[in-house]
Structure 1
């Protein structure tokens, strides 16, 4: 499973010259995210996301290596987001993941730890035009206030994703991640098998002591682990949503 862009269709480097007249008009709804059943998440989001979504770890297959990363689970069937309704609204009262909030912008770099980045955007997004919306550049060619705010948000997200990779490295260092499969039961007693995801082992956590425990505590990771484990109680709720959407299609 690769986290490379997901629902981004035509990633284009933003150019001060080529795109000087470009504007972004807000598009109502989340149609763009309706066909993804997961998104990568930063550890700092665990607190806000854990009351609403299951947070699990999966293998992130890159060209050079395979690592693990935390994801927010949005559905139980590939290509189907159970948090997006027929009218493409997001489920009311739930936290909106940062990965989705940063869209249609993204920062591209040669590798994850590179210090120089290129700001890109999905030119296939319907909101881009040259007539209506928020301008990306001012008349003098400088970044607009809106674009500066977008860049600040994306830079913050990237920094937190880097911190999250360090978190996963720490979990692996102490061998805390374990593969799990589980049968979850809906409120209507319908069973569903979820296969091959990774979670932090509570058993191994209980055996940690001394410097290992101190390291997790000092880096602020203990709270993230607790939020992750608490989020797993949302799996049956997600199954309820999954079955409800299936029933809607039959009706």
Structure 2
């Protein structure tokens, strides 16, 4: 499954004709994200996200085509999001990633060269119905105010993800990313090994020539790099949360 479609089960293109009566009744809680321990992030989010989540990079190989993606770590174990409680509430006071806030909508390429996009939704999401909630279309068949706001948010997110890809391309161009394996230690002295992720090398960053630094700075990417490096201090905190949640789960069982 591609990063883009993580969380989604049945992606359906929104049609003015087919879905003219469709409404969205908000479903409280984040059950849909309870079993994912990472989500892709847009660079513009890093200033807020770096206060709460470790930000790392990973390489994915799609039929020989390697792509690098920045991720927010939400847990240290596959299938467990340590920021989602048993009642599916998000950890209080923590930034909620845009990737999750956009659900159940997603923008997908409408053609092969990705020159056109269409708004899609996860039709398996239980909030969609024809009786109550926010209408997607007016009685005249035009976009509702809610749908217009959704489109604005989705288009903004799409633009920022495109900018993030440019950011990652520059990191790779200047060979700033390096593989990292680290042992993190909890506040209770429990050690945990984290492997197979990429971080920006502070040594390589310090050795960049002036022209490269100017380019990164003018595009606003030096701030993103700083936020990423600062975010790594959240790894021990995430381990504390992970151990606490596992302990609570064991007690309940």
TM-score by length of 2: 0.96
Deviation at 1:61, TM superposition (A): 3.1
In structure 1, distance between residues paired with 2:218 and 2:113: 23
Question: Which residue of 2 is the match for residue 47 of structure 1?
Answer: 47
How far, CA to CA, are the matches of 2:150 and 2:4 in structure 1? 20
8 Å CA contact 2:111–2:117 kept in 1: the answer is no
CA contact (8 A) 1:137 1:147 kept: yes
Shift of residue 79, structure 1, vs aligned partner: 1.3
Rate the CA distance shift 1:70–1:113 in 2: closer, same or farther, 3 A.
farther
User: How do 1:150-189 residues align onto structure 2 when only pairs under 5 Å count?
Assistant: 150-189=150-189
Instruction: Structure 2: state its 5+ residue gaps.
Output: none
The structure 1 segments of at least 4 consecutive aligned residues displaced by more than 6 Å after TM superposition are none
Partners in 2 of 1:126 and 1:183 — Cα distance? 41
Q: Which residue of 2 aligns with 1:5?
A: 5
Within 1, Cα distance between the matches of 2:96 and 2:112? Answer: 24
Matched, 1:129 2:129: yes
**In the alignment, structure 1 residue 221 sits paired with structure 2 residue 218:** no
Q: Which runs of 5+ in 1 are unaligned?
A: none
CA distance in 1, matches of 2:68, 2:113: 16
Distance 1:68 1:13, change over 3 A: same
Would the aligned equivalents of 2:110 and 2:118 in 1 still touch at CA under 8 Å? Answer: no
Conserved in 2, the CA contact under 8 Å of 1:179 and 1:198?
Answer: yes
Asked whether 1:37 is paired with 2:26, we answer no
Structure 2: distance between partners of 1:119 and 1:63: 27
1:200 equivalenced with 2:200 (yes/no):
yes
Change (3 A) 1:12 1:92: same
Partner Cα distance (1:118, 1:224) in 2: 29
Q: Which deviates more from structure 2 when the two are superposed, residues 66-75 or residues 107-116?
A: 107-116
Q: Given the superposition, is the C-alpha separation of residues 197 and 110 from structure 1 closer, same or farther in structure 2, using an over 3 Å criterion?
A: farther
Normalising by structure 1, we get a TM-score of: 0.97
Q: CA deviation at 1:115?
A: 2.7
* Change in CA separation of 1:112 and 1:187 when aligned onto 2, cut-off 3 Å: farther
SS at match of 2:148: helix
| In structure 2, distance between residues paired with 1:245 and 1:49 | 21
* Separation (CA, whole Å) in 2 of partners of 1:207 and 1:112: 40
- Determine if the alignment matches structure 1 residue 244 to structure 2 residue 244: yes
Aligned length: 251
Counterpart-to-counterpart distance in 1, 2:176 and 2:248: 40
Distance in 2 between residues matched to 1:148 and 1:185, nearest whole Å: 46
Shift of 1:113: 6.8
Partner of 2:17: 17
How well do the aligned residues superpose, as a CA RMSD in angstroms?
A: 1.3
String of CA shifts for 1:108-153, please: whole Å, max 9, x gaps: 1057972311110000001000001000000000000000100110
